[in-house]
Structure 1
């Protein structure tokens, strides 16, 4: 087939200019009905017809009507892949209403598979420039917007050069990078999409979760909150959970609260699966949860108890993940000092930790009680229980301690607990310690 020449373009423009609009639209309807596979129409022919059509219609006031625009774009379906940068540039953002924008995007969607890279780049620039210029509320502020985004996000997402966005390069698609990385925009888009997906989640299969969380949503997942996570049912299959977590595990810049939310989300789903099926998810699925768990534990290091409280965990549901410092805060700042079960849970958690962790706990315990002006225990039962359990934990290490260790333990770290010392606790201390160590005690 010979290439389309300038004379072909001019002839097409002339023909469309001469024919009446009603007859031309009838002709478009007939062509539309006959062409099911738009690939059969050469791309250059699409570009020519679309360019000629635009020349005839660009001043048509009916294009201001979103309903007409939507139906008109449907008539142009066989040729929409031929949209060009000059046509897009003739659509100034301030002259395109929100409804028109939605109609245009939905119309462009039909031709994505056949568009050239240059056309996709031009569309990406136009769509994100519109969002940047007019604000994201057009496509996020109603339930209908959420449904629209779900239908059209694949198209918009496919236009984004995800690698450049993730790597934060600015040498390609700078406008989409700017828009998507804007916190407010990203949060609004994700919230709206989840609003549209929420009614669908209960019937999603693993492949549906894969499609969304591994392919369509990664560029937005760094904006996830507990609100969006709460819209995902907890009774999904292990395979569905794995698909979701693969998407989340591809994100490297989660905040600590987000990691905490993801950990809680995963724990709820895995626990629910055990309740419903009587068995755990397999090891491969649990690995994805364990990855988030490791990130969570790593993020807790160096965190103050006050900052930990901001994560909305009680602490007792994740005792095994907490640092010695946070365990101390939980001891002093919760009601554990008046609750036998809770104080037992906290001290028993230390049994799985090493000597340095135990010392770190006691060091922080001294600092926390001093800050709270605690000079004596009001609850002798709790004091006795704490001392008994801690001395039992220290027992294997006593033979290795030197005099300075005994000074530190008995004159500083255990000072508040020592009024409850009994023969049982004393029996945990070796009798062959040095005179200096004995004197220190």
Structure 2
């Protein structure tokens, strides 16, 4: 084991379990108990390498207070003390002390260590930055115990503001030799603790080990003496690296304030006011506490009072913890605070914490707008110094919770004189939040992107930001992303981008949005390319998504009949093979929503195909869907559809030998409305007699115009019984208005009954 080196441990896999890690670590620790000091360096270095390489396993283990054993035989084995004793016997002790190692002094039996000599040894050893194990320093301090306290005080006064980066093991040894032996009265004496922490061990406090700190947290300090220790650490904070500052909080402050075995848990009873409590108990290390930590230490804490002293990351935690993303007053106060001092650094810290660990607060638009506006005012003056990496960090991570409030004015400000590479970073960032933007904002951003590209195009006289050998599809994706769906078709023609190249970058929903925005809904060439794209892959799924988006939010494109016919024909070819698997809900979604923009082009052949072997329930869904678009159908199509509906009903009638699809207790009027709807007005009178439907029942379902159309279509204009029933119906309600509408329809378009 003595020959083991850190390089030997590099074969350990990075995904090692912590149980396996602990077994290796324990084996190295046990070997140290049997190795002489001069043979143990490789094992010690290997232990440190293991801890540094696998912090996920080593950090939890650091929350155990461990005492370093001192085995004199192992430390002093092989140490030749004769030369030191010879020099000392010659009376040259003071001048020669620093010529020997601390190990040699620890192992010497000569009685020469005065307070002055100890100060000399500490001074030269620490200045030379020689490192000795904790057990060596422990043995040395135990030997010098009688003069140790005075020597430490003298050394501290002499060291003034000096710190010693290699003194961690010195501090650890002093903790075990002295602090571990403080009695209860001493631990609670402010004078005693002040003398030790603010004087005797002050020069070493800048480099405490995890173990020293955690062991210290278990001492029975009073709240007053604990606060003295915090002040002492605070005096050395400037000399600590960031990890050590964090360790003071994590391994000392947090464990101490979390203890529930004291008379004043969290040290809250003796201090009034949250700010005073924070300063006294966390001192200069309060930035390392989370808001949740502080609330756990002091349940009565006023976070509102602490806002003025919180760090940017703590303010972000407060916003997250309070669910305060919609509290405009709090947000305003937070940003007032962030603008104090280095506003860019503060906002950076705030947003970094806000998006840490995949957190994503959801701001209401009014609050999000305020946060985005204030943030932009702070960061935009620095854009000229931003690298591509800076743009990526801000627009892909830090700004994401608020980027949906990015305005076209901000876009113009940001992209003025920006490189194509950085422009594309911004496009891809905005694309991440496009779904959170209202439609008008998406359109405004699209307009701003096109403005940048036009300016760039004018500057370089070729498609803007075009990379060598870049395809149209790649250009669209990089320079417009999903915002392309909000462009006008003519805009894209300006950049000489092929329609096929454009469509290949879009999913079916985006193709639908492009169709709505582009003004190309009646461009047959464009429509043909759209359906070529939709037919690739899962055509049913693609058309479903396309039509769902086309009819979302009450949007309805106005197709010219010739284009609508093409779209309906192609759509029917794709969806009809799946009718056999359709549920009633599927029919409702398709015939009441998705197909509505094109359903007026539904042909009688499609109707026959769709209704063959269909249930009465699903047939009625189709009738009510077609009724929604009857006004868009030409007269001949209404008549053809009526003929198809009657065909279905006759087949059903023959199959069940009663009025087709008649529900129990269903009236004639209900039957007509469900099975023919407004198409009844295009039936012949004889058709309805075939179904044993009473004339009165029929007429009660129609308005005056529909009654007139029925009279024209039915061949019953000379049937006096029918005419009498017609006028009985017209005389109900406002007879003048009803007769007016009836005769107007009867004479419309040159029709004469």
TM range (shorter): 0.3 to 0.5
**TM-score relative to the length of structure 2:** 0.27
**TM-score relative to the length of structure 1:** 0.42
Which structure has the higher relative contact order (CA within 8 Å, separation 6+)? 1
Larger radius of gyration: 2
